[in-house]
Structure 1
């Protein structure tokens, strides 16, 4: 059985679907709430669905001879980049991650966890997005969410350097800009692809932020956009390759502009390309990354053989699913 925290969320539910297609049992930790989040797991209901407050009891039962766990994939977090409750973010994103790491170390269970490209903050230029653990001290996240992910990465490094017991396999993944189906519950944190699709199919121009950086053209802000299926493939490869441990970037290694993305969405939806530029909200100024691009050298060196989906192909697949009667995996 594989335990997936955040298992009814975006990446977690896509991973759950693929694990079950492999014939594996899953236990998911999440809150479905009263909205349509349950639709993310409707086609692939897990063997166990736990509320976060039930996790410690479940793990205690497991250590006492209950159903064994083959791995823990820890994706659950407060992921809003605008989060302000520092105590809640710490308890959820750092303290819980520490408890799971320690449990997996004691029980000899592989542990994969979600870090974030938000840990890089305002990094830019050649080598700025290197996932070399030796460069962790140089990172300056711009928001509470990114800082919390960075804090756990630093804690993991200290555990390893001190010789403390570690899980038999561990991997932290710095997700870049992930998009794809099953993200519909994310409200303000939904991917730009989905937001732009909503605009263009309504007959509106795709709205993009004006650049707030001198010398950078409007729409030229760039991100490393990665299709959720590629993220799942990397997670599965890690689960299948227990000899690989480490902190790794997870993007495509190619930065594409928001203008590229807007055009890809319009083309996939079969509508004319129209773009309108709007002022960046005051709350984002000074916290907005104008460029991200994952250095994928370390994951490739570790042996990952997969090819990443191009932005145009990923957007086309996503838009086709959005146009179907059931857009969920």
Structure 2
């Protein structure tokens, strides 16, 4: 058994996971077990320069844990199938529900604090608001298979009598930032906008399908991935030092609490590239129009009550850092 406590991070080669590993490395933590499918060469640059103790294939993780019995002090479970266009319920059940249940049960059996990734997509069309109240979770109606899978695990988690000593399910809103280059159509609107400008010096946004919004005026709560990593670090420190009370266990929104428009994003990307905005608009495809929310904005009171008071990066600052220090320097 390892003498030095280890931190397990699943999904470590992915967008958010690799940024969390980077942040933990920057705080001096190298005693990390990275779990993911490391055979995906497209994501290799996300993890190959990170500092870690063990690299474990996702499919062999539970077997590896049973055989090696590592001294884990904390689990950060970010591994999931995050493609919102994924239609296979078999894949989503395996990756987003059963895998999460296995990690949860391991954390419970060995009394290990744990945080895991949920999604704001679980709120559906937003008609019921975006309040992270565990007691109203059964009222939510997700709009696609991916969101339903994340919602199903959230419901399962809050119902468990046997649970990790301290835990939190993090409902991520619209995350953007470094290391998302491999996500294809699932990447953030910031990266999509950057690519459009690089290719054509124009950006095309959807026209509004509601009288409430101008074209491109639909609102989202955009969160810089570095803020997510900082929050998870805070939860890690709070939980391992037993400053987290069991009554705080539950679901938490991870958002700035201030929604901004797609048009704002486009203008800010143009500005970061030193270019004048050139925006056109196109009709919203019928296959997404029915499930396209006009507004998505986190309520953040619960997180603040838990003790987290760090400010979130403004959209202006986040986009400028992302463009100038990452996208403009590396091939996408």
TM-score interval, normalised by the smaller of the two chains: over 0.9
Q: Is 102-111 or 208-217 further displaced after alignment?
A: 208-217
Residue 145 of structure 1: aligned partner: 146
Structure 1 counterpart of 2:57: 51
Query: CA separation in 2, counterparts of 1:238 and 1:59?
Result: 23
8 Å Cα contact 2:158/2:250 also seen in 1: no
Q: Pick from 80, 83, 90: which aligns with 1:80?
A: 83
Structure 2 residue aligned with 1:200, among 182, 189, 197? 197
Structure-1 separation of matches of 2:126 and 2:199: 36
Structure 2 length normalisation: TM-score? Answer: 0.92
**In 2, Cα distance between the equivalents of 1:62 and 1:290?**
49
Aligned equivalents of 2:86, 2:21: Cα separation in 1: 27
- Written as runs of structure 1 = structure 2, the 5 A alignment for 1:241-256 is 241-242=238-239, 243=244, 244-256=248-260
- Take 2:148 and 2:77, find their aligned partners in 1: how far apart are those partners? 17
Structure 1 alignment gaps of length 5 or more: none
SS at match of 2:280: strand
Tell me the residue number matched to 2:291.
287
Q: Deviations over 1:247-281 (max 9, x none)?
A: 10000000001111111111111000111111222
* 1:6 pairs with 2:11: yes
Partner of 2:35 in structure 1?
29
Provide the residue aligned with 1:186 in structure 2.
183
Contact 1:224 1:292 in 2 (8 A): yes
**Are the aligned partners of 2:23 and 2:230 in contact in 1 as well (CA < 8 Å)?**
no
Of 206, 211, 215, the match for 2:208: 211
Closer/same/farther in 2, CA of residues 19 and 322 from structure 1, 3 Å limit = closer
| Alpha-carbon offset, residue 236 of structure 1 | 0.5
C-alpha contact (below 8 Å) 1:212/1:280 kept by paired residues = yes
TM-score norm. by structure 1 comes to: 0.93
Cα deviation code 1:179-230 (max 9, x no counterpart): 0001101111011101101122334211111122244321110000000010
Distance in 2, Cα, partners of 1:21 & 1:169: 24
RMSD between aligned alpha carbons? 1.6
2:143 aligned counterpart, secondary structure: coil
1:261 aligned residue: 265
The answer to whether the 8 Å contact 1:200/1:271 transfers is: no
Query: What is the CA-CA distance between 1:76 and the residue it aligns to?
Result: 0.8
Q: CA deviation at 1:45?
A: 4.2
Gaps of 5+ in 2: 1-5
Partner of 1:275: 279
Please state how far the C-alpha of 1:246 moved relative to its aligned partner: 2.1
Change (3 A) 1:323 1:86: closer
1:60 corresponds to: 66
Tell me which moved more, 114-123 or 28-37.
28-37
Q: Which of residues 163, 166, 171 in structure 2 aligns to 1:169?
A: 166
1:16 corresponds, among 11, 18, 21, to: 21
Provide the C-alpha distance between the structure 1 equivalents of 2:330 and 2:59, rounded to a whole number of angstroms. 32
Report if aligned partners of 1:201, 1:269 keep a CA contact under 8 Å in 2.
no
2-structure distance, mates of 1:72, 1:62: 16
Question: CA separation of 1:49/1:283 partners in 2, compared to 1, >3 Å: closer, same or farther?
Answer: farther
Q: Provide the C-alpha distance between the structure 1 equivalents of 2:268 and 2:121, rounded to a whole number of angstroms.
A: 24
CA contact (8 A) 1:177 1:225 kept: yes
